[in-house]
Amino acid sequence: MALVNEHFLKLPGSYLFSDIAKKVNTFKVTHPKQDIIRLGIGDVTQPLAAACIEAMYKAVDEMTRKETFRGYGPDQGYDFLIEAIIKNDYALRGIQLNNAEVFISDGAKSDTGNIGDILRHDNSVGVTDPIYPVYIDSNVMCGRAGVLEDGQWSNVMYIPCTGENHFIPQIPDKRIDILYLCYPNNPTGTTLSKQELKKWVDYALENDTLILFDAAYEAYIQDPEIPHSIYEIKGAKKCAIEFRSFSKTAGFTGIRCGYTVVPKELTGATLTGERISLNQLWNRRQSTKFNGASYITQRAAEAIYSPEGKEQIKKTISYYMGNAKIMKEGLESTGLKVYGGENAPYLWVKTPKGISSWRFFEQMLYEARVVGTPGVGFGPSGEGYIRLTAFGEHSDCVEAMKRIKTWLA
Amino acid sequence: MALVNEHFLKLPGSYLFSDIAKKVNTFKVTHPKQDIIRLGIGDVTQPLAAACIEAMYKAVDEMTRKETFRGYGPDQGYDFLIEAIIKNDYALRGIQLNNAEVFISDGAKSDTGNIGDILRHDNSVGVTDPIYPVYIDSNVMCGRAGVLEDGQWSNVMYIPCTGENHFIPQIPDKRIDILYLCYPNNPTGTTLSKQELKKWVDYALENDTLILFDAAYEAYIQDPEIPHSIYEIKGAKKCAIEFRSFSKTAGFTGIRCGYTVVPKELTGATLTGERISLNQLWNRRQSTKFNGASYITQRAAEAIYSPEGKEQIKKTISYYMGNAKIMKEGLESTGLKVYGGENAPYLWVKTPKGISSWRFFEQMLYEARVVGTPGVGFGPSGEGYIRLTAFGEHSDCVEAMKRIKTWLA
């Protein structure tokens, strides 16, 4: 008989955002006349950059004639996009990559979820805590996370990031095989300086740890001292895979495009100690279980790197960061302690008087009609925090702050 | 240290189509003035249907204004597309499905590759042979295929389909946990009648076997008696997952869209015999490791089901099937034995005098300047065959037949 993968059964039945949706729905049903402002889910709201739109029109038009029609593209993406990425996201920061080190995909969620395919099921895993749930859940699904004990997975090391340590994860005193880092961080909105990131690269090199570095929010960095790529740190090509996404950089949440960098010099080991190219394994994984991102999408992504595209996405990012500023100031004026929001589109708010995340979430929903995301949904160290996102409409952010001020006054 | 998934290392270093590309390239370098006609890879060549183009223009336009902008869509696809699929591909054939049973994706290659995530690593696997390499390779990658012994994987049962048995796979005398069926078949271009398919559904129900039914080519069926969906067979919802693709139906190889049907009543077992909904597991897998297909792509797919869209894709399919007819007649006139090409875009040609697939491939390349795909690349029972596809330009197909006739005369 066909047996199921029982690791799936260890997962909690529902996803954080479904739980939130249910609670919001209950509120709406019981309060049909009250409007709510959603600052919970990290989805963008502003239109696509004109340069991307133009590129898509053109790409669609190419599909109307057999002379310019495009069928299957290269499995790992078109060179026009790969070259734009290498030039703008890396070479300009002094990082050299070759085309075969960049893999275009339908988004960073797929890639961070699927990367585990190329790694043994019994590697130990480390995460900063709180963290994007996909890192944990995808490891649970293949058995790598172990079993759930008191809210923590037995084969996962949780590295706490809280107000107490200023959200700077402490280097562990034992080794981990695979470590997830996400900077600028989702959900806390905090960043790592070059010096702090270097400590992790050094740790990884020393311990033969593979770093899975998620830089999906790098476009929101305002401070020139904060690294955008882990490869700005010497030696990182020997120990890190980097994930990037156009979702938040250019509003591509509905368009679906991202990419993953797997340097040629990066290796993992076999049980007998032979070194194996991870680039080669990821290439094989993607060639077999993926068939390339849409041509039209890839043309849109290329346009982000045109002079007009760059200007346009910068403007949209400024719009969101303007929201973040208003929210940070608004929340702080009520006496709340707020982290993030300066180099990231997320604000991480300490709940007052030690109230739990879910309790604060419900109070804010019922008393201020504002939806956030309970911090504990991102891991044990998220308890006592709530996440707000800056992706909303400007006027909604202003109004939400008014409501929260009135509520907490 | 980070350990790699060593199952990957069991895979042959390169993929069938890369080997072919290399050989073709060698020919081109050594014969720079000779043109070749490619009837090897199954990629489409004709422009997209006007209805799809129009839908994409409209969808791109929606992305220009925040009132109509679309960010993250529903993980499993928009209802507008799911409902068009259920109505046209299923209800019209008497099959009732509900929306939660249809999962929109970026293509059937991803889905047939990823489906193994929800199944235990030690289920036994059955395939008709020859077969689409992704079914095998994705099982090798997770260890389910076992080890390679004399060109066959130890935990895979190969069910031969050859001229001798008229390409009708024989029901095995022992049970298999998971069985891949692809009809109309890639690579042989042959089909199964309702009676033959019913034998497999009955076998699956009796043996608690999960059928993974790939119907990517159903749009090419001309004979009204041949089933388009496995759910046309009574009981199939209890034993089968069905994969569909718009790649060949509507020329979406570069646009990327397909879908997978996982009926609610379909279950797998735990080791203790508990029955688990596969729909629920696939939903969890996709929610965690996938983030939906592009909105623009989904609108294009919806347009396939409009009255104009239906007419337009029918016309393109007729064009390709016209090619298939010319090729079949042309090849048969040289005395070659040809299968398929009547309800599928593939022709499966027996090599003359027992020549090997690769030998015939090279001869045809060097002597007729026509590229096919060696049958043995699809599995042991493909030895002594070559696959040709009908997706080329009409004039190229005519010219290719001329060349082959001259060569074999």
**pTM higher than 0.80, yes or no?**
yes
Q: Residue B41 — pLDDT band, cuts 50, 70, 90?
A: confident
How crowded is residue A329: how many other Cβ atoms within 10 Å of its Cβ? 12
A288 interaction partners in chain B (CB closer than 8 Å): 15, 113, 134, 137-138, 141
Whether residue A7 is contained in a domain is answered as no
User: φ and ψ at B280, to 5 degrees?
Assistant: -65, -40
The predicted-structure confidence for B246-276, as pLDDT tens digits, reads as follows 999 999 999 999 999 999 999 999 999 999 9
Whether residue B8 is contained in a domain is answered as no
User: φ and ψ at B130, to 5 degrees?
Assistant: -75, 165
Contact A288 B113 (CB under 8 A): yes
Closest residue to A72, CB basis, from B5, B69, B253: B253
Q: Residue A350 — pLDDT band, cuts 50, 70, 90?
A: very high
Statement: residue A134 has pLDDT above 80: yes
Whether residue B1 is contained in a domain is answered as no
Length of chain A: 409
Tracing tokens 């199921």 back to the chain, one arrives at A4
Longest alpha-carbon distance in chain A: 67
B104 secondary structure, DSSP code? E
Q: How many CA atoms lie within 13 A of B376 on its CB side?
A: 15
Which of A288, A305, A322 is the C-terminal boundary of a domain?
Answer: A305
How far is Cα B382 from Cα A204, in angstroms, rounded to an integer?
Answer: 47
B72 interaction partners in chain A (CB closer than 8 Å): 41, 43, 253-254
- Cβ pair B180, B126 in contact under 8 A: yes
Whether residue A1 is contained in a domain is answered as no
Q: Of B132, B145, B81, B141, which is closest to residue B114 (Cα–Cα)? A: B141
* A6 and B CB contact within 8 Å: yes
B155 interaction partners in chain A (CB closer than 8 Å): none
- Cβ pair B292, B72 in contact under 8 A: yes
- Cβ pair A123, A373 in contact under 8 A: no
According to DSSP, the β-strands at B178-182 and B210-214 are parallel
Within its chain, how far is the Cα of A108 from the centroid?
Answer: 7
* A291 and B CB contact within 8 Å: yes
Quick check: helix, strand or coil at residue B191?
A: coil
Which of A305, A328, A353 is the C-terminal boundary of a domain?
Answer: A305
Residues β-bridged to residue B102: B261
CATH number at residue B372: 3.90.1150.10
The predicted-structure confidence for B279-302, as pLDDT tens digits, reads as follows 999 999 999 999 999 999 999 999
How far is Cα A226 from Cα A98, in angstroms, rounded to an integer?
Answer: 24
According to DSSP, the β-strands at A37-38 and A370-371 are parallel
Statement: residue A135 has pLDDT above 80: yes
How many independent structural domains does chain B possess?
Answer: 2
Domain assignment of residue B365, given as a range: 14-43+309-408
Lowest mean pLDDT among B4-13, B187-196, B215-224, B319-328: B4-13
Are both A317 and A272 inside the same structural domain? no
- Cβ pair A62, B251 in contact under 8 A: no
Whether residue A8 is contained in a domain is answered as no
Which of B305, B336, B356 is the C-terminal boundary of a domain?
Answer: B305
Contact A294 B3 (CB under 8 A): no
Are both A347 and A379 inside the same structural domain? yes
Quick check: helix, strand or coil at residue B288?
A: helix
Are both B38 and B68 inside the same structural domain? no
Q: Of A43, A135, A302, A293, which is closest to residue B293 (Cα–Cα)? A: A293
How far is Cα B78 from Cα B23, in angstroms, rounded to an integer?
Answer: 43
For A51, nearest residue in chain B (alpha carbons): B64
Are both B30 and B57 inside the same structural domain? no
- Cβ pair A312, A302 in contact under 8 A: no
B178 interaction partners in chain A (CB closer than 8 Å): 2
Closest residue to A118, CB basis, from B5, B50, B64: B5
Q: In A154-209, where do the E strands start and end?
A: 156-160, 178-182
Mean confidence (pLDDT) of chain A: 97
- Cβ pair B409, B367 in contact under 8 A: no
Contact A285 B141 (CB under 8 A): yes
Are both B301 and B372 inside the same structural domain? no
With a threshold of 0.95, tell me whether the complex ipTM lies above it.
Answer: yes
- Cβ pair B315, B322 in contact under 8 A: no
Are both A196 and A325 inside the same structural domain? no
Statement: residue A151 has pLDDT above 90: no
Are both A276 and A326 inside the same structural domain? no
Total beta-carbon pairs less than 8 A apart between chain A and chain B: 267
- Cβ pair A60, B57 in contact under 8 A: yes
Statement: residue A13 has pLDDT above 80: no
CATH number at residue B60: 3.40.640.10
Contact B69 A60 (CB under 8 A): no
Q: In A176-257, where do the E strands start and end?
A: 178-182, 210-214, 240-245
Are both A23 and A97 inside the same structural domain? no
Whether residue A3 is contained in a domain is answered as no
